[in-house]
């Protein structure tokens, strides 16, 4: 199971940003969910590790750019999937 230090490295920005943070451990599903709200940047960041599925999922809403960004890593097929939707258009890269 991933530790808090590992999760912290996933969502730390290196910037001195004031915000609201929460970390939840759901042992029944062996997953960690971290969420952060950055007020001055106007964005939400959520990172989730699902060990039973062997994947990392990060989702982000950037209000100033009015777009959603989602990135997933599947360890089994060894591929990355990135999707972005901005102003009605979308793209997928593998």
21-58 per-position pLDDT tens digit = 444 444 444 444 444 444 444 454 444 555 555 455 55
Residue 60 in this model has a pLDDT that exceeds 50: yes
pTM of the model: 0.18
Please tell me the distance from the alpha carbon of residue 62 to that of residue 29, in angstroms, as a whole number: 29
Say how far apart CA 92 and CA 94 lie, in whole Å: 7
CA distance 16 to 21: 14
Domain boundaries, the chain: 4-93
Adjacent-strand bridge partners of 55? 50, 74
Which residues, 6 or more positions from 74, have their beta carbon under 8 angstroms from its beta carbon?
53, 54, 55, 81
């Amino acid at each position: 199971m991933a530790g808090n230090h590992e999760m912290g490295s996933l969502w730390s920005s290196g910037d001195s940003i004031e915000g609201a943070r929460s970390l939840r451990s759901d042992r029944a599903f062996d997953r960690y969910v971290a969420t952060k709200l950055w007020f001055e940047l106007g964005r939400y960041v959520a990172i989730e590790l699902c060990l039973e599925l062997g994947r990392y999922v990060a989702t982000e809403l950037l209000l100033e750019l009015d777009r959603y960004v989602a990135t997933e890593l599947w360890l089994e097929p060894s591929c990355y999937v990135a999707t972005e939707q901005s102003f009605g258009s979308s793209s997928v890269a593998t």
